[in-house]
């Protein structure tokens, strides 16, 4: 019944009763959630529920309860009140998550794209001090790291400027062109993380060639309630502490929330028990939102601020940083980020009109030797104004379409600091797109087209700034100036085929683009410990990818298989040259070549009957990246196989939702390095964990303990930038997580 369009005559509210399909008993505490509105409620002691202020038109409601199959109802709301009763079937493998990152909000079974999801509870129990590291257990997702703080995601071998990260539906802009520039994101206030693997430029624009990571916020508080949550996690390896505290309320549709968090870590310890100096990091964030939810629309305003200090594990720092503190004092990035987002959604008949606006102010400073006259070496501010306007219309039960306009105005400005990693510049981008989806029996074809135009203006200026340490000579100065315009066309064609309720096939063909960005065109100067040089002759990078997927979901088995082939014309990458600067530093220059990436992923989850307490999970990922003129692409992860056994028990004495898990991550040799990389030996990591819920009086408490790299082996990850310095990845890390939800007004 999930995903079937049902015609309801409703006075902007839906109500009914939820019962157990087998016993007929009412179910208490079932979560009812409308993902597009971020509103929800729970069933009472009689299994009754009511969700008010529902707009007219098409909407998905999700009914979820521990130990039962998730039920999704696609509703078509008109004018008069009706009831909808739900009978939930006991289930052992959860599935059918509602996702909002695709072309249309839909369930996983209805979507033409396979979108992977990770719930925030899983992130909290993962034992990793970074959100990005927590989602790398999704097959096809990995990371480039410079320690546990400085991490950038990789999707199917593509990274940096080739993937996009969204917050509240808007792109995050914080100089993500380099592996030294981490995304300033955390799990505070999130419900889940969604990952699109494959080109998504059609709906999100330039930068989504390789995929998208969407940070989905938590639902608003239920009507008439003020609730909160405190979470804290301790990481034994880094002596790290991550804590978040949040409150949210809902009074007759006026919603609000406020939260704050801290993540402070010392230098990490390798598997050989040696410390990696200056990998410490400290992060602080404050988030707030207010909004109004009505049947004619939702209007919400978000403000987020973060202050971040990331130690840089570079040779000059190793000579200075000898202490065992967590405070950043030498060779560290000081990053401050402000983001203001206006998220408005109007319901006009059967049309949903989204008007999303955002302003982001990102200041990046690089501080070096505190004893130097030029302690602050880099100081630049990136300001970005973005807009996304789209209309979604359901013409009939089987035909719907989305039309949108997106754009961005961006300005980069250098302040008083000697090194200008990027020049002063302005960037303008605008695009229009349309997507249509039609259901024909078991087929659901989807077609989209997008045109984008952007311009980059760099006024005449000195390249790379200058140094005050020695006298400059006029004939040594280098000046840059650039004016460029790029027009791009992208398209997608895909379809899902529902063989039956348990088997689904997906086929997608997409052509995506990425214009060369500011650093690739104009960068000139030292960046970290190497000299990097842009290339003003770069052309637009265009790709064609075909993706084939198969999904099986039964009561006791879930299986996902996917294979892809991605051909990229004029792939842009940074590579070392044979040239050096006058001081002897090797020059790295941006270049282009045709390339291809191909591979696949698999995910298997078995819950053998009648062993209701046992789960077996396995994931596998493999990707090859090749230059068409010979050689391999850089930053391609090794193939991985992960096996896990998990034992669960619903209740025992005072404990609820208990689990014990153990897994092994088999990482194979990476024998296909690029010309400036070296091969990397494989390794195996053993992980274990347990957790439970405990109710003391009326207060619920969730506790989990996780041990990653339990055997404390020392190894190199192929994507670690510390590998070239002979530094291993993190050794054994035992973490403890505590979550305490509470209610101030019910």
Q: Given a cut of 80, is residue 137 above it in pLDDT?
A: yes
Longest CA–CA span in the chain (Å) reads 87
What's the whole-model pTM score?
0.87
Question: Over pLDDT 90: what percentage of the chain?
Answer: 47
Lowest mean pLDDT segment, chosen from 142-156, 459-473, 651-665: 459-473
- The answer to whether the CB of 119 falls within 8 A of the CB of 98 is no
pLDDT digits (tens, 9 = 90+) for 281-330: 999 999 999 999 887 888 999 999 999 999 999 888 998 998 889 999 99
Cα–chain center distance at 30: 28
State the pLDDT at residue 525: 78
> Which element (helix H / strand E) includes 134?
helix 131-134
State the pLDDT at residue 77: 64
| Whole-number Å distance between alpha carbons of 195 and 203 | 14
DSSP classification of residue 355: E
Higher pLDDT pick, 54 / 576? 576
Lowest mean pLDDT segment, chosen from 363-377, 470-484, 710-724: 470-484
Residues 6+ apart with CB under 8 A from 501: none
Residues 6+ apart with CB under 8 A from 174: 181, 183, 184, 335, 337, 360, 362, 364, 382
CATH superfamily of 193-467+476-531+540-745: TonB-dependent receptor, beta-barrel domain (2.40.170.20)
Number of residues in the chain? 746
Phi, psi of 724 (to 5 degrees): -65, -20
State the pLDDT at residue 1: 37
Q: Given a cut of 70, is residue 99 above it in pLDDT?
A: no
Long-range CB contacts for residues 681-684, cutoff 8 Å, separation at least 24: 681/715, 681/716, 682/638, 683/713, 683/715, 683/716, 684/713
Residues 6+ apart with CB under 8 A from 13: 50, 51, 52, 53, 54, 81
Topology (CATH level 3) of domain 1-91: Immunoglobulin-like (2.60.40)
> Which element (helix H / strand E) includes 316?
helix 315-318
Lowest mean pLDDT segment, chosen from 106-110, 493-497, 501-505, 618-622: 106-110
- The answer to whether the CB of 665 falls within 8 A of the CB of 640 is yes
- The answer to whether the CB of 438 falls within 8 A of the CB of 426 is no
| Whole-number Å distance between alpha carbons of 11 and 429 | 42
Place 79 in a pLDDT band, splitting at 50, 70 and 90: low
Phi, psi of 602 (to 5 degrees): -145, 145
Domain ranges across the chain = 1-91, 193-467+476-531+540-745
- The answer to whether the CB of 259 falls within 8 A of the CB of 247 is yes
Question: Over pLDDT 70: what percentage of the chain?
Answer: 92
Long-range CB contacts for residues 243-250, cutoff 8 Å, separation at least 24: 244/186, 244/187, 244/188, 244/189, 246/188, 246/189, 246/287, 247/744, 248/218, 248/220, 248/221, 249/221, 249/225, 249/745, 250/220, 250/221, 250/222, 250/223, 250/224, 250/225
Cα atoms in the 13 Å half-sphere on the side-chain side of 603: 18
Place 97 in a pLDDT band, splitting at 50, 70 and 90: low
State the pLDDT at residue 731: 96
pLDDT digits (tens, 9 = 90+) for 505-551: 999 998 888 889 898 999 887 776 678 888 999 999 999 999 999 99
Q: Given a cut of 90, is residue 94 above it in pLDDT?
A: no
- Name the nearest CA neighbour of 147 among 667, 731, 673: 731
Place 107 in a pLDDT band, splitting at 50, 70 and 90: low
Please, what's the b/e burial string for 327-340 (b: 16 or more CB within 10 A of its CB; e: otherwise)?
Answer: ebebbbbbbbbebb
Phi, psi of 638 (to 5 degrees): -75, 160
Strands (E), 633-698: 640-652, 655-667, 683-696
Place 697 in a pLDDT band, splitting at 50, 70 and 90: confident
Place 32 in a pLDDT band, splitting at 50, 70 and 90: confident
pLDDT digits (tens, 9 = 90+) for 195-251: 988 877 778 877 788 888 999 888 888 888 899 999 999 999 999 999 999 999 999
Query: If you average pLDDT over each of 50-64, 104-118, 290-304, which comes out highest?
Result: 290-304
Strand partners, 397: none
Q: Given a cut of 60, is residue 2 above it in pLDDT?
A: no
């Amino acid at each position: 019944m999930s995903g079937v369009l049902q015609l309801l005559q409703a006075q902007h509210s839906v109500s009914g009763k939820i019962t157990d399909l087998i016993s007929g008993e009412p179910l208490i505490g079932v979560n009812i959630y409308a993902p597009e509105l971020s509103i929800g409620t729970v069933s009472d002691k009689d299994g009754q529920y009511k969700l008010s202020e529902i707009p007219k038109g098409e909407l998905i409601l999700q009914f979820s309860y521990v130990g039962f199959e998730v039920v999704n109802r696609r509703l078509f709301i008109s004018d008069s009140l009706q009831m909808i009763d739900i009978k939930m079937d006991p289930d052992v493998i959860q599935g059918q998550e509602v996702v909002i990152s695709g072309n249309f909000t839909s369930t996983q079974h209805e979507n033409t794209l396979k979108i992977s999801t990770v719930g925030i509870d899983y992130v909290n129990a993962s034992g990793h001090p970074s959100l990005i590291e927590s989602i790398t257990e999704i097959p096809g997702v990995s990371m480039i790291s410079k320690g546990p703080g400085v991490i950038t995601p990789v999707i199917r071998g593509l990274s940096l400027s080739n993937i996009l990260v969204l917050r509240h539906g808007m792109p995050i802009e914080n100089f993500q062109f380099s592996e030294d520039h981490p995304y300033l994101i955390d799990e505070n206030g999130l419900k889940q993380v969604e990952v699109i693997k494959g080109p998504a430029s059609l709906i999100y624009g330039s930068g989504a060639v390789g995929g998208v990571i969407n940070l989905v916020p938590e639902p608003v508080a239920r009507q008439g309630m003020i609730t909160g949550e405190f979470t804290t996690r301790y990481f034994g390896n880094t002596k790290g502490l991550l804590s978040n505290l949040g409150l949210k309320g809902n009074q007759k549709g006026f919603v609000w929330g406020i939260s704050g968090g801290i993540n402070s870590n010392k230098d990490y310890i390798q598997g050989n028990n040696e410390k990696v100096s200056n990998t410490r990091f400290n992060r602080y964030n404050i988030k707030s939102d207010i909004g109004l939810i009505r049947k004619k629309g939702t209007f919400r305003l978000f403000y987020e601020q973060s202050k971040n200090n990331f130690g840089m594990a570079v040779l000059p720092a190793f000579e200075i940083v000898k202490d065992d503190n967590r405070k950043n004092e030498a060779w560290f990035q000081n990053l401050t980020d402000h983001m203001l987002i206006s998220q408005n959604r109007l319901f006009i008949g059967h049309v949903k009109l989204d008007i999303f606006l955002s302003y982001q102010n990102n200041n990046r400073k690089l501080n070096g030797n505190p004893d130097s006259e030029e302690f602050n070496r880099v100081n630049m501010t990136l300001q970005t104004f973005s807009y996304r306007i789209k209309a979604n219309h359901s013409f009939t039960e089987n035909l719907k379409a989305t039309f949108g306009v997106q754009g961005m105005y961006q300005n980069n400005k250098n302040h008083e600091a000697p090194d200008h990693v990027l020049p002063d510049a302005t960037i303008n981008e605008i695009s229009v797109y349309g997507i249509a989806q039609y259901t024909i029996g078991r087929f659901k074809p989807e077609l989209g087209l997008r045109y984008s135009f952007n311009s980059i203006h760099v006024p005449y200026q000195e390249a790379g700034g200058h140094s005050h340490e020695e006298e400059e000579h006029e004939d040594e100065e280098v000046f840059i100036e650039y004016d460029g315009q790029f027009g791009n066309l992208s398209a997608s064609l895909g379809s899902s085929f529902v063989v039956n309720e348990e088997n689904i096939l997906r086929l997608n063909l997409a052509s995506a683009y990425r214009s060369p960005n500011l650093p690739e065109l104009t960068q000139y100067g030292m960046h970290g410990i190497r000299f990097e040089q842009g290339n003003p002759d770069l052309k637009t990078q265009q790709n064609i990818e075909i993706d084939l997927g198969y999904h099986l979901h039964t009561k006791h088995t879930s299986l996902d298989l996917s294979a892809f082939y991605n051909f990229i014309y004029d792939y842009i990458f940074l590579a070392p040259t044979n040239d050096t600067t006058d001081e002897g530093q090797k020059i790295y220059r941006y270049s282009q070549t045709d390339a291809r990436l191909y591979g696949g992923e698999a995910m298997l989850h078995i819950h053998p009957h009648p062993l209701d307490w046992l789960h077996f999970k396995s994931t596998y990922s493999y990707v090859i990246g090749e230059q068409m003129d010979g050689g391999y692409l850089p930053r391609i992860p090794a193939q991985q196989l992960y096996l896990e056994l998990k034992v669960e028990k619903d209740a025992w004495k005072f404990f609820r939702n208990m689990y014990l898990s153990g897994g092994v991550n088999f990482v194979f040799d990476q024998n296909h390095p690029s010309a400036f990389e070296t091969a990397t030996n494989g390794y195996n990591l053993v992980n274990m964990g347990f957790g439970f819920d405990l109710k003391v009086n009326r207060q619920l408490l969730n506790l989990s303990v996780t041990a990653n790299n339990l055997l404390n082996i020392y190894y190199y990850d192929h994507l670690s930038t510390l590998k070239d310095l002979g530094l291993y990845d993190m050794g054994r890390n035992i973490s403890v997580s505590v979550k305490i939800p509470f209610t101030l007004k019910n």
